[in-house]
Copies of this chain bind each other. A is one copy, B any other.
Amino acid sequence: MNLKELAQHLNLSPTTVSRALNGYPEVKETTRRRVEEAAREFNYMPNAWAKGLATGRSMSIGHVMPTSKMHEMVNPVFGDFITGASETYVKEGYDLKLTPVDDGDEAQRYRALRTRGNVDGFIVHGPHLTDGRIALLREIGLPFVVHGRASNMPADYPWIDMNNRRAFERATALLIELGHRRIALVNGLEHMDFAHRRREGFLAALASHGLVPDPALMRGGEMTERLGYRAAADMLDGTSPPTAFLVSSMVTAIGVRRALHERGLELGRDVSVIIHDDDLGYLRNGDDVPIFTATRASVREAGRRAAEMLLRMIRDPACAPLQSLMEAELILGRSTGPAPR
């Protein structure tokens, strides 16, 4: 059943039916109802391609995930973000188009999505400190929102981010107040912007308490269980082991915990750990009582909001670049305690 057939059934012109269905004001209320009813009855739905062709809008959003950075991107964070974004899209009638892209032809690919006209906007995932995609997308001229920021770029693009710096600064300060002096940082890959900011927060807190950072207690890498295990193992077996860890992800912290257990150390008594918790659906930080003390911010919520921002910018192209900073909450679990003497 297409528009023309539906119109014939109703003894109306396609014009009127189209208008009725799209909420234009110049159609009589009774006609509109008649049309809507018939549309429901025959289960009519406009053909997306024809509509896209006629309107120039595609009603879909491109999420481009770089595959060479796969380890970083195809991770639960990505999944949860996408889910959040989808919740918004589905409400507004948008679709989500996922495009993996090999690192080389990134520009090529964005342009293709543009000129083939099949997305109305982009979400950019996993920005680096310096990230060429921002200039590229601006040049391409389609609305976009970056999940995260790129510290080394002029900050006049649209983004949504969690306040990584503040979160890690607060967490570090908490550990210091608990008496810890040798605090380790197990971070993500530090060319990624979020990890860089976390480190800044960490360093700022140390500095403001007059502590000198020890390079031996800072480690960055892909946030795997293994990284946590290795980093913790090395540090704990070192000459002057840390009494506390700041860990960038739940998964990594599990590795840290493994190293602790292996050495007969008890979490929260012998060694304190604070993690950043993205509040992922399937990897919860305890239920009633959090296992880990954590800075927490829902990445799913970020996805929802990013999508809202993007849609708003699509609807109103004149709109200034929207930006949004989310604060993490600091929640107390059982993994922190006063520094052992």
Q: Which residues of A contact B (CB under 8 A)?
A: 1, 43, 45-50, 52-53, 58, 60, 65, 67, 70-71, 74-76, 78-80, 82-83, 86-87, 90, 95-102, 111-112, 115-118, 222-226, 251, 254, 257-258, 261, 281-284, 286-287
A284 / chain B contacts, CB cutoff of 8 Å: 224-226
A102 / chain B contacts, CB cutoff of 8 Å: 90
Complex alpha-carbon distance, A222 and B225, angstroms: 21
The oligomer's copy count stands at: 2
Interchain CB contact under 8 A, B100 and A97: no
Interchain CB contact under 8 A, B281 and A70: yes
A115 / chain B contacts, CB cutoff of 8 Å: 1, 43, 45, 47
Q: Taking chain A's interface residues, is the majority helix, strand, or loop, or is none over half, making it mixed? A: mixed
Interchain CB contact under 8 A, A117 and B79: no
A76 / chain B contacts, CB cutoff of 8 Å: 75-76, 79, 282
Complex alpha-carbon distance, A169 and B79, angstroms: 31
Q: How far is the CB of A256 from chain B (nearest CB, A)?
A: 12
Interchain CB contact under 8 A, B49 and A58: yes
A60 / chain B contacts, CB cutoff of 8 Å: 97
Interchain CB contact under 8 A, B83 and A70: yes
